[in-house]
Chain A
């Protein structure tokens, strides 16, 4: 279970770091807890024929989907680690760096999708690059993106999204 613990710890750390400037508490939760959620699910979600790491239906919703499997694959590429046999894949579960990279990717994608619960287009448009504001940020093989999503680069919102977050989260929240 060490691999699971490492992934979850890295994911939570990445998500917390994404919101460290703001009045936001980030924690693991269960369905329908907290104000907003990123739900980690199994497989690849197709969006216009392209597999995506995460999805959010509309601005204003409180749940997003983060697809586990694609992060598992992309983290392998980002490091990079080449696996040839099924035994290699099994052994990879004890690769601490890979497990942390998978978790970091999931946490960063979760931050991105939580952003879309507040902003789609204005405040957070998906054609920007180089931060986890970026459209293809989860895929380290795509031009304009990079392996930063898996723990190799600076974690920062682009200015326009940082500002949008600041305005949306200002004053905290209370009910």
Chain B
């Protein structure tokens, strides 16, 4: 059985969620692996939210905000973009592929690009495989080469 990734998408109310809605209204198909959470602004998303998704078994997380310069709250999408960049580094630091976290910018009129972005993301994550490959065991093991 092929691996079906679980992906969480944080979409801002004013643009990205509108784009997702439009892609539905246009009857465009995109993979069902994505669960969308609507947020007032993509700038609301902090490191905690993204990490919480990974802790709870997400294979990928995507943050979708307004086009640059079009944020309803001026700079929320730019702030979260920087936050995402830093978080990507922090994830690579502990051995999680940074591609699992992705940010893109859309307007509410971009239903088709939204569906395409999601398709590409699902394909990327499918290629990476699950975040946590093996069966977790309780601690007590010795340090091995995988931690270095």
The answer on A and B forming one complex is: no
**Residues of chain B at the chain A interface (Cβ within 8 Å):** none
